[in-house]
Structure formats: structure tokens, C-alpha cells
Amino acid sequence: MAKERRMPIESGCPDGFQYMHPTMLRNFGQWKYHTHPRVGVLCHVAESGDEIWTVRAGTQRILDVFTLRTLCDIGDKYADGHVRFTIRSNIEFMVDDESKVDPLIEALEAAGFVVGGTQNSVAFISHTQGWLHCDIPGTDASGVVKAMMDELVHEFKNAEMPNRVHITTSCCQINCGGQGDIAINIQHTKPPKINHSLVANVCERPAVVARCPVAAIRPAMVDGKPTLEVDEKKCICCGACYPPCPPMQINDPEHSKLAIWVGGNHSNARSKPSFQKLVAAGIPNNPPRWPEATRIVKKILSAYKEDARDWERINDWIDRIGWPRFFELTELPFTKFHIDNWRGSRKSLNASSYMRF
Ligand code: SF4
Ligand code: SF4
């Protein structure tokens, strides 16, 4: 073994302290309380008596250089030259004086940005990367977000919901995208179509076979070439075979649909964290405005807004009223596909690290 151990090369994100507003740096870990003077604005008060005002505006997440420069110019001119991004693609400007808040909001709105997304509003929808960065999306999550937020802008600017609402989208069925009060996710409805002439050139077949959660893929020979075959009775159309093997074509303009799930909650502030549950499936993946999915999300939100008690998140509300009442209030059809009675995983779920052939 070498005497001197080579130090790791740090290539992660840089130390955030160097970019922090001086008031935040001075009072790090010493915050006493915060208030919510208006939607999109938070005021944090430190033990020392210092105050910091945060103004939040939505952005499109995938930012072009022109927009970034516009936002940074606003930050230099109207804020104190410090910004940060939230996990939901909002930009936040920090100022240490209340008198700077209104001019900052005016400048943001004049440049076309929407201020809001705090407290019990519909926060900015979080989305995955879609066509721009990823190689497996079945829809453009960013497009779904844009189309929906255009229709939900009132709920972003006003805190009229019983509690905060976090909506998420995901552009494939297996990877990122997350737990949300409402989640709009891709749903494949047909097994992959295999392009046999490409498999031998493109895919590592053992890796693809091992990837299938229900062991539905087997090696095969077609026209004298090594390829794969899928047992369509077992396949659950998850799309997990497509990333390591693009010839397993699962994305389809007609059969890749959207599904809506509700009630996911990471927080355990008032009740236990909960998993989201499927409430609408087979919704057309219909760019550029996704009207069918947007209509359902709006229906769920309006039923929640009308019927939930103060501070109930969507999962708390459903726990109180029960699923039958949820389906009545939202007028969504309840079908046999909502009943999770699949027991296949007990026999076939590929939960070991061994490859199977
Ligand atoms: S959700 Fe899937 S397709 Fe979308 S960015 Fe994540 S891994 Fe890629
Ligand atoms: S990985 Fe998913 S989509 Fe591919 S064959 Fe297996 S179950 Fe079907």
C-alpha cells in the first residue's frame, strides 16, 4: 500500500457559506422566529435582533443565460447581491431592510416573474429534467409544469389552501420525481417493443436481464443474433429495462400515459409520513398543454380547498374523509385498477444482487 494516501478530489458543490448574505452568516444558527408578511415574502428575526427579508419568485428551473442575467441584475440592483435557489426551482433574494422589499417585488413583476409560493399556497411544481438532460423520458416534465402552473398561478400568488400543496412531476416511471401531495407521473401501459437488430450491438444483456424487477426478460436468439425476449404476462411495464438497453422501446406516443397520485408526504409535523396512492390513470400524455391532466389536478385542488380543515395536508384530509368520499368529491371514477392486489413480488421481485439468466 502506498505510504501517502491520495486525497479525494472534491468536485461537489462549493461551500455555500462564501455566498451567504452577511446578515445570515452573522446569525447562522441563531434564528428566533419568522413571520410571513405576505405571500412570497418571509421575515426571519435573529436572537441579535437582526432581520432578513426573503422574496421568492418562481422560475422555469432550466434557465437560459439571458434569464439568469436578468435575475442577477435585479439581485444586484434591488436586493443585496445575494440569491439562492430552492429545491422547487424558485429563486430567493435576501435583503436586510424592509424598505427594499416592495421595489424588489415591483422589479421582479415588471420583468415577468411571479412572486409567491410560500406558506399555504400551491408551491412551484417540482419537475425532473425531461428531454434536456436525460436519456429515458416518456414525457417532458418541464412542459407539464409550465402548462399547469399557467393555470394555477392564482394559487401560487395567494395562500388560500388549507395547508401548503407540493406537486411533483416525473418523466419516466422508475427514477426521479418524488413524493408529492399530488404527483403527475408517466405510466407505461404496454411491454417494450424490442428492436432485435440493435440489442447485440448496444446492450449488455446480463445487465438488462438483472434490471427487470419481475424477472420477465430472458436472453434469446433472433435471426441468428443474440437478443432478448420479454414474458409479456409477467411484465409490469415499468420501463426499467429501457435505460440500460434503448432497443427495449417502451416510450410510445399513445401507450405511455400519465397517472396522478395523491397524498404523499415526507413531513411528520402533524401526522406520519405517507406514501402517495394512485387516483387517476391512463390520462393522455398530450403536449403542449396537457389539458386532461391539468383538469384533474384542478379538480383535486378545488375539492381539497373547499372541504379540508385548516392545516390538513392532502393526506390528512383523505385520512379524515376516507377514500370513497375523496372519489365522490373529486368526481374521479374509481375502478378495479385502483385496488392494489398484486402479490407477484413475493415470488419474483428481483430483490437480490445476483444476476439471473
Ligand atoms: S424522471 Fe426519469 S426520465 Fe425524467 S429525468 Fe428522472 S430519470 Fe430521467
Ligand atoms: S424491466 Fe419493466 S418494462 Fe422491462 S420487461 Fe421488466 S417489467 Fe417489463
pLDDT, position 7: 80
- What percent helix, strand, coil does the chain show, rounded to 5? 30, 20, 45
Cα 217 from chain centroid?
30
pLDDT over threshold 80, residue 164:
yes
Q: Do the beta carbons of residue 224 and residue 157 sit within 8 Å?
A: no
The percent of residues in the chain predicted with pLDDT above 70, rounded, is 95
Whether the CB-CB separation of 192 and 240 falls below 8 Å is answered with: no
Whole-number Å distance, alpha carbon 170 to ligand 2 midpoint, is 18
> What does the pLDDT read at residue 179?
74
Nearest-CA residue for atom 4 of ligand 2: 241
Q: Please give the Cα distance from 292 to 294 (Å, whole number).
A: 5
Over the stretch 313-347, which tens digit does the pLDDT of each residue have? Answer: 999 999 999 999 999 999 999 988 787 776 666 66
CA of 250 to the centre of ligand 2 (A): 9
Among 132, 174, 176, which residue has the most ligand 1 atoms within 8 Å of its CB, making it the best to mutate? Answer: 176
User: What ranges in the chain are assigned the alpha helix state H?
Assistant: 22-26, 65-78, 101-110, 141-157, 196-202, 205-211, 291-307, 314-321, 323-330, 345-348
Cβ 237 under 6 angstroms from ligand 2: yes
Distance 134 CA to ligand 1 centre (A): 6
End-to-end CA gap in the chain = 38
Measured from the Cα of 170, ligand 1's closest atom is 1
Q: What are the C-alpha distances in Å from 144 to residues 40, 89, 248, 259, 356?
A: 23, 15, 25, 12, 38
Instruction: Extract the C-alpha cell encoding 211.
Output: 434490471
pLDDT value at 2 more than 70 = no
Give the cell for residue 322: 376516507
Residues 6 or more apart in contact with residue 47 via CB below 8 angstroms = 27, 30, 31, 32
